[in-house]
Amino acid sequence: MHDDRNLVEARLKRVLDERIRPAVYPHSVPLEVAVWDAPDEPVPVAEGLAAEPRPIAVGARWGAPWGTSWFRVTGTVPEEWAGRTVEAILDLGFDENMPGFQCEGLVYRPDGTPVKGLNPRNQWVRIGAPATGGEEVRLHVEAASNPVILDYHPFLPTQLGDKETAGDEPQYRLARMDLAVLDETVWQLVIDLEVLGELMAELPVESARRWDVLRAVERALDALDLQDVNGTAEAARARLTEVLATPAAPSAHRISAVGHAHIDSAWLWPLRETVRKVARTTSNMTALLEDEPDFVFAMSQAQQWAWVKEHRPEVWARVKKAVADGRFVPAGGMWVESDTNMPGSEAMARQFVHGKRFFLDEFGIENDEAWLPDTFGFAAGLPQIIKAAGSKWLLTQKISWSQTNTFPHHTFQWEGIDGTRIFTHFPPVDTYNCSMKGAEIAHAAKNFKDKGVARHSLAPTGWGDGGGGTTREMVAKAARLRDLEGSATVVWETPRAFFEKAEAEYPHPPVWVGELYLELHRATLTSQARTKQGNRRSEHLLREAELWAATAALRTGFAYPYEELDRIWKTVLLHQFHDILPGSSIAWVHREARRTYDRLAGELTAIIEDAQRALAGEGGEPLVFNAAPHARSGIPAGGAGTPGAGDATTVTPREDGGHVLDNGLLRVEIDGRGLVVSAYDLAAERETVAPGRAANLLQLHPDFPNMWDAWDVDAFYRNTVTDLTDADEVTAADDGAVRIVRAFGSSRVTQRLSLAPGERRLVVDTEVDWHETEKFLKLAFPLDVHAERYASETQFGHFHRPTHTNTSWEAAKFEACNHRFVHLEEPGWGVAVVNDSTYGHDVTRTVREDGDHGTTTTVRVSLLRAPRFPDPETDQGVHRFRHALVPGASIGDAVREGWRINVPERRTEGAGAVAPLVTVDQDAVVVTAVKLADDGSGDVVVRFHEAHGGRAAATLALGFEAASVSVTDLLERPLSDAAEPARDGDRVSVRLRPFELVTLRFTRA
C-alpha cells in the first residue's frame, strides 16, 4: 500500500480547522452589550451589578491596565431554537494561547449568583439544554483587564507590572458577544478526531495500530459532507466507533488524572487579583463537577481557600458541597505553595501547621501529601518537616526543568538530613498544565523512568499559573483515553488514590539523599533583596514575639496575642509563595510586600516591647533581653539580665596604609583599599585569609541570562568580573570601626568593619546605594582552608555540598542557598561566614601555584542583582546588609553566630533579671520556638532540634510548673507512638539523633 499518511493527516487538519470546528455553533444571534468601568480598584459584586452601564459594540476597545469593567449582556433566545442546546459565547478579546495571562471574567446572574469563569479556553456559558424559545437572557460579567506581561517576545522590560506606572491605554478589543446553538454531535466529533489524530502522531509508523487509526479517520472524513457538516456528523462519528473502542494493552502505562489549576498566589498579577482568579476558577470547577460525574478536582494552598471563604461566600457554599461529595479535594496541606529553599525552620513548619489546620477545621480532612508542582527546588531539611506535620508523600514537577542533568527517577524515596524518607513522585508528563493532548500522554508513558517496576503516574490536568482549571474538552478527551489501544490509560483520581496505588505497587523504590536542587532559577536566591530581608526579619521577630509573650503570660498574666500572631504568621507565610519570596513577581507585588513587612515589623515590635515591659517590671536596672537560643554576654537564652563587659578593641594605623583591629582574640588588617588582607586567629596562631588574596572584596559581574531574567543567573556570568578595589575613603571611626566608601558605575557602597570586644567575629556592615542594571554584586572571602565540602544551613540543620566540580551534578550547583551561615573546616579549625538577610552564595576552590601549593577556598555572598523583567526597577535604591567572618569556628560556633547576627539583643530598664521559661544544657540542641499552644489552652509548646549533625543528650530545665509533657507533631497533637520523655521534677531529659526535630507540649500545673 502506498504511504499516504501525510495526505490524510493534512486533510484532517484542514477539515477540522475550516469546516468541523466552525460547525460546532451553526446558528448565532448577537447579544446587546453595555459596560461600566469601575473607577479604581475592584468593587463589591452588588455595586457592579447596580451600576448604570453605557452601550458598547463588538470591536470596541476596553479595559485600562489592571482595571475592572462590568459588562451587561442581554438578549432573547429565538423561538426556533426551542429544545436545542443554547450557549452564550462571550469573547472579551481573548488570545487562546494565553489562558490565565490576560483578561478574564466571572459571569453572574442578575441576583449576584456566580455562574462560571471566562478565560481564553473557556468562553461559553450554558443558557439552556434544552433551551426555551423566547427566553430572556441577562448576564453580568466582572471582567479584569489584566495586561499581558509575558508576551510572545518574552522578558521585555515593561511598565505594565504596576498600576502606578501602567497608564490607562485600553488593553483589549471586544471580540464576540453572541447567543449560539451548540451542536453537541459536532462537538463530540471534534473531540473524537482530535484524540485519534493526536494518538496517531505518537504511534510508530510501522505499527498496525497507527494505520488502523489512519484508515478510520479517512473513512470518517469520507462520510462527512463538507457542505452539511451538521447533518452528517453522526455518520462520521459512526466510522470511528470501532477504533475508539479498542482497549489498551494490559501493559499500558496508567495515568491518574487530577483536575488542577495551579494558581500562583502572586506573579504577573498582584495578590488582590489572585483573590478573583481563585473565585473564577472555583466557580468554573464546581460547575464542571456538576456536569461531569467522573471528574475530580484538587486545589492546594489553604490561603486560596480562605480567600474564597472570605470574599466569595456564594462560591464557598458550592465548594463546600463539592468537598463533601469527595470530588473537590483540598490538596497539599500548606498555607501556600511556598518556596522551600529560603523559608526558615519555623516558617517552613508553620506552612504545614496553618495549611493542614485550615483543611481540618473546615472539612475534617487530613492531607497526607505535600503538593508543590512549581517550587524552585527543595531543601534537604524538608522530608522531616513533612513527616512531623503528619504527612508522608510529596509531589512536584519542577525538577524536570533542570538544564544540565536529568533526574534519574519519577517515583522514589527522598531522604532528608536526619534520615527521614518521604515517598515522592515527579509526574513524567512534565507539566502541571496537562491538557490531555496525545503528545502529553505519550510523553508521560515514554518518559517514565521506573518502567518494569512501576506503571502509575499522575497528571495534573488543567490550565494553571494564572488559573482557569480543567475544561470540558479535557474531560471529554480523558473519557476516550480511559481504555484506548496505543495510549496510556487515563482515569480521574484524587491525589490520595494515586499515591496509595503508586506506593503499593512500588514497595522498595530507589532513594535520593539530600537536597532536590533545581538546575535553573538560581537567581531567585538574590532577586528583590528587600523582600528577602523582610521575610528574614519577620521570621525572627515572630520567634521573639512568641517567646516573650509566652514568658510574660506565665510570669505576669500578660494577654497572649493569639489572634494577632495567627494573622501575622499567615501574612508572612503568604509572602513566602514561590514567586514572591524568590523575587520573580511584578513591581506591584514587591512594592506591596515592602509595605506589608514594614507594617508587620511595627506590630511585632510592639508585642515584643509590651511583653518585655511586663517582664522587666518597674526599676532602673539596665537589662538586656536575649532571644537567641544560646547564652551570650552572661545572659541565658530566652532570659534577661545585666551583661558583662568584654576587653576593648584597639584600632591602630597599619604600616603600609589602612588600619589594624585587635580585640585579643582576632587581629584584622585592613589595607588602604579597605580590603581585609589578614584575619589572624591569635589563639590558634592561624591566618584566615588566603595568601596574596583579600577578603571583603566586592565583585561586579555582568548579568544578562538567556531568559527568565529575575529567575536565572547563567554560568557564563563568571567569565567577566570587576574587582571593586578603589576606595574614596578608608578611615577609623570614633566607635572603633573602620569606615570604607567606594563608588562604581552609578552606585555607592559604604562599609563598616568592626570587632566586638570579647568576640571572635569580624562584622561587615554594608550599605549599597544601588543604581546598576543587569549587574550582579558579590562579596568575596578567599579563605586559607582546604575543604572538599562545606556546610550550608537549612531548615532544622545543615547540609553539605562539595567545593569541587568532579561531576556535572556538582558543577551545576554554581549558586546555592544557605540560611544564616556557611561553614568550612579542616580537622580542628574552621571558618564561618554568617549573614542577617542574604541567601544566595557560591563556594569555589583553587590550588595555589606558588611554593605554598595550599588550597584557597572562596566563599562569595550574593548581595544584589538588577534584572529588568518582570520589574524593570528591581532593587534600585539603598540596601543594608550585615555579614560576619568567624575564624576558628566549629560547626557549633557557626550555628551560634548565625543566630546572634539575626537576633540582636534588646535593651531596656527594669527591676531585675528575667529567668527563661526553658533552658537547655547542651548547645547542640537549639530551641526554635517557645510559645503557647495554638488552641488557647495555655499549654506551653517547645520545639527544638539537634543542630550540629551528631547525637545529643540534653536536659531541659523548666522555669514554670508543668503537670505533664507529651511529644507532639507540628500541629501540637500528641504522637501515639512516642514515649513520654523522662522527667525529674522540673527537668526533662531527651536524646536526639543527628538533626532530629522534637516538639514537646507541657500542660501547666
> Which residue numbers are catalytic?
374
Q: Is the peptide bond before 870 cis (omega within 30 degrees of 0)?
A: yes
Type of residue numbered 814: F
Q: Are strands 855-865 and 821-826 parallel, antiparallel or unpaired?
A: unpaired
- CB 494 within 8 Å of CB 488: no
Helix axes 562-574, 587-616, angle to 10 degrees: 150
From residue 916, give the alpha-carbon distance in Å to each of 94, 557, 638, 923, 1004.
61, 16, 5, 15, 16
Buried b / exposed e along 599-628 (16+ C-beta atoms within 10 A): ebeebbeebbebbbbbbbeeeeeebbbbbb
Q: How many other C-beta atoms are found inside a 10 Å radius of the C-beta of residue 297?
A: 28
Q: Is the dihedral of CA 108, 109, 113, 117 positive or negative?
A: negative
Q: Which three cell numbers stand for residue 900?
A: 546572634
Q: Are strands 639-641 and 918-920 parallel, antiparallel or unpaired?
A: unpaired
DSSP designation for 528: S
- Rounded to a whole number of angstroms, the CA Rg of the chain reads 31
Q: Which residues pair with 278 in a beta bridge?
A: none
Q: Is the dihedral of CA 413, 416, 421, 426 positive or negative?
A: negative
Phi, psi of 302 (to 5 degrees): -55, -30
Q: How many other C-beta atoms are found inside a 10 Å radius of the C-beta of residue 216?
A: 20
Q: How far apart are CA 132 and CA 334, in angstroms?
A: 46
Give the list of residues 6+ apart from residue 354 with CB closer than 8 angstroms, or none. 302, 335, 566, 569, 570, 573
DSSP designation for 364: -
Buried b / exposed e along 773-797 (16+ C-beta atoms within 10 A): bebbbbbbbbbbbbbeebbbbbbbb
Q: Are strands 456-461 and 489-492 parallel, antiparallel or unpaired?
A: unpaired
DSSP letters, 746-807, are TEEEEEEEEE-TT---EEEEEEEEE--SSEEEEEEEEE----SEEEEEETTEEEEEESS-SS
Q: Which residues pair with 268 in a beta bridge?
A: none
Q: How far apart are CA 187 and CA 179, in angstroms?
A: 17
Phi, psi of 535 (to 5 degrees): -65, -50
From residue 74, give the alpha-carbon distance in Å to each of 33, 132, 519, 562.
7, 15, 53, 50
Q: Which of 193, 84, 188 is nearest to 129 (CA)?
A: 84
From residue 746, give the alpha-carbon distance in Å to each of 337, 649, 713, 760, 768.
38, 35, 22, 35, 11
Sheet holding 722-724, edge to edge: 722-724, 697-702, 775-783, 855-865, 840-847, 816-817
Three-class DSSP labels, 888-903: CCCHHHHHHHHHHHHC
Q: Which of 188, 868, 811 is nearest to 584 (CA)?
A: 868
> Among all chains, which residue has been given the C-alpha cell 426551542?
82
Q: How far apart are CA 367 and CA 355, in angstroms?
A: 9
Q: Which of 337, 928, 269 is nearest to 581 (CA)?
A: 337
Phi, psi of 500 (to 5 degrees): -65, -45
